[in-house]
Amino acid sequence: MPQAKYFELSDARREGFFNISEAAEASGVSAKMIRHYEEIGLVPKAGRTVAGYRIYRDADVHVLRFIRRSRDLGFTMKEIAGLLGLWQDKRRASADVKRLAAKHMADLDARIAELQGMRRTLEHLVHCCHGDGRPDCPILDDLAGAARA
Amino acid sequence: MPQAKYFELSDARREGFFNISEAAEASGVSAKMIRHYEEIGLVPKAGRTVAGYRIYRDADVHVLRFIRRSRDLGFTMKEIAGLLGLWQDKRRASADVKRLAAKHMADLDARIAELQGMRRTLEHLVHCCHGDGRPDCPILDDLAGAARA
DNA sequence: CTCCACCTTCCCACCATGGGAAGGTCAAGC
DNA sequence: GCTTGACCTTCCCATGGTGGGAAGGTGGAG
C-alpha cells in the first residue's frame, strides 16, 4: 500500500490510485472489511489524501483479491496472514503452502463429517415423524431423551 | 424451575434439589451456559438458597438435557426456544416440529454443500502442488487469481 | 477454625462481518 | 460560487454461542 503520499482525490485518481469503494468493487472485499483488515494489520496502512481518504494501487487491490479468494475457500484470517507471507516471500517453499492448505482441508473434512452426522440423525427423525396435527412426535422424544429410556 | 423456595443447600439437597454443578454434570450443559441460558430467558429463573445458590429439580435437568441434545444437532438457540415451546405444549401439532426440523436440515445441507465446494477446490490445488522447496505453487497462483488470467 | 472447592455477579474475549451515528469531503449540476 | 447527495472518515455497538477470569461470598471436610 502507498506509504504517505498525500493528494487530492482527483490528483490521486489521475495517477492511477483508487479510493476505497473502487478498491472494494475491484476486489470483492467490502469497504468495511478493508478498513478492518488494515486495523488488524492484515494489510498495510493505506496512503491517504489530504482529506484523509484512503487510496489504493493495483497491487493493493491484488492483495485484497487474494484475501477475498482465501476467505471464499474458508481460510481463517490467521491462515490468510500466513498465506500472504508465503505469497510475498520469493524464497518460500511450496511445501509450507501445501501443509497449510492440507491442514485447512482436514479441518473442513472434520466439520463436514460433524454436520453430516447431524443431518443423518435429523433425516431419520423427520422421516419417522407423521407431521400431522397429533402431538406425538419422535423428534421431540429424541431430544427429550425418551429414545434412551 | 422452582420459583422462590429458599433453603440452605443441604436442606435443598435433602429435598432432592441439585446445585448448578450437579445440574451441569447431569445435563451435559456447562454451569456457565446454564447461567447464560437463564439470563437470555431460554430457561426460567432457577430457585435459590438463602446464600443465592441456584437449585434445580429433575425436571429442570431434563430441560437442560433437551437443550444439550438440540445443540448437538446444531439447532440455534432461537430454534431451541421454539422446540421447547412445542415440547411443553401438549396441544402441539407434530407438523410444526417436523417443519422446524426440516428447515434446519435444509440449512445443514446448504452448509455442507458449501464446505464440500471449498474442500473440492482445495483437494485439487493440494494435489497439483509439488510440496517441495521450490517457490512455484498452484495454490498461491489460484489465490492470486493467476488461474483466471 | 482452616482451607479448598464450590458459588455468585460482572466484564471481557473470541471470530468475521457487519450497521449506524456524527461529522467531513467531493463533484456534478445549477 | 452554491447546493446537494453520495461518498469518506472514526467510533461504537451488534451478531451467535461459548467461554475465561476477577472479586468476593459459601459450604463442608478435616
- Average pLDDT per consecutive 10 residues, chain B (149 residues; last block may be shorter): 60 89 95 96 94 94 96 96 94 94 96 96 94 91 72
Choose the final residue of a domain: B92, B113, B131. B92
Question: Which nucleotide is closest to A34, CA to C1'?
Answer: C17
Vertex B131, ends B129 and B135: CA angle to 5°?
Answer: 85
Q: In the 88-147 stretch of chain A, whose C-beta falls under 7 Å of nucleic acid strand C?
A: none
Outline where chain A has alpha helix (H): 9-14, 20-27, 31-39, 58-72, 77-87, 94-128, 138-143
Q: Residue A147: is its pLDDT beyond 60? A: no
Q: Return the CATH number at A71.
A: 1.10.1660.10
What pLDDT is recorded for position B66? 97
**B64 and B102 both lie in a single domain:** no
What pLDDT is recorded for position A6? 58
How far from chain centre, in Å, is Cα B57? 22
The set of cell numbers assigned to B113 is 454443500
In the block, which residue shows the cell 429435598?
A: B15
Concatenating the DSSP letter of every residue in B77-126 gives HHHHHHHHHHHT-TT--HHHHHHHHHHHHHHHHHHHHHHHHHHHHHHHHH
**A86 and A102 both lie in a single domain:** no
**B48 and B63 both lie in a single domain:** yes
Cβ separation B87–A133 shorter than 8 A? no
Classify residue B134 as exposed, middle or buried by CB count within 10 Å of its CB (0-12, 13-18, 19+). Answer: exposed
**A85 and A98 both lie in a single domain:** no
Chain B's closest residue to A85, CA to CA, is B140
What pLDDT is recorded for position B8? 80
**A22 and A84 both lie in a single domain:** yes
The set of cell numbers assigned to B105 is 436440515
**A87 and A104 both lie in a single domain:** no
**B65 and B76 both lie in a single domain:** yes
**B112 and B85 both lie in a single domain:** no
What pLDDT is recorded for position B113? 96
Q: How far apart are CA B18 and CA A119, in angstroms?
A: 34
Please tell me whether residue A8 adopts helix, strand or coil conformation: coil
Q: Is A105 at the interface with chain B, CB within 8 A?
A: yes
What pLDDT is recorded for position A146? 57
Q: Residue A48: is its pLDDT beyond 50? A: yes
**A20 and A40 both lie in a single domain:** yes
Residue-range definition of the domain harbouring residue B140: 94-149
Q: Which bases along strand D come within 7 Å of a protein CB atom?
A: 7-10, 16-20, 25-28
CB B56 within 8 A of CB B23: yes
Of A1-5, A64-68, A112-116, B72-76, which gets the smallest average pLDDT? A1-5
Choose the final residue of a domain: A92, A112, A134. A92
Q: How far apart are CA B61 and CA A110, in angstroms?
A: 30
Q: How far apart are CA B83 and CA B36, in angstroms?
A: 18
Domain count, chain A: 2
Q: How many CB atoms lie within 10 A of CB A102?
A: 17
**A140 and A81 both lie in a single domain:** no
Question: How many beta-carbon pairs below 8 A join chains A and B?
Answer: 162
For residue A67, the distance in angstroms to the closest alpha carbon of chain B comes to 8
Name the band, by pLDDT with cuts 50, 70 and 90, for residue A12. confident
Which of B94, B125, B145 is opposite residue A137, by nearest beta carbon?
B94
Q: In the 14-43 stretch of chain B, whose C-beta falls under 7 Å of nucleic acid strand C?
A: 19-22, 24, 31, 35
Q: How far apart are CA B2 and CA B17, in angstroms?
A: 10
User: Which of A 1-60 lie inside 8 A of B, CB atoms?
Assistant: none
User: Which of B 108-137 lie inside 8 A of A, CB atoms?
Assistant: 108-109, 111-112, 115-116, 118-119, 121-123, 125-126, 129-137
**A70 and A3 both lie in a single domain:** yes
| Greater model confidence, A125 or B12 | A125
Choose the final residue of a domain: A68, A92, A116. A92
Chain A's closest residue to B68, CA to CA, is A143
**B78 and B99 both lie in a single domain:** no
What pLDDT is recorded for position A14? 86
The proportion of chain A whose per-residue pLDDT surpasses 90, expressed as a percent, equals 82
Q: How far apart are CA A46 and CA A30, in angstroms?
A: 15
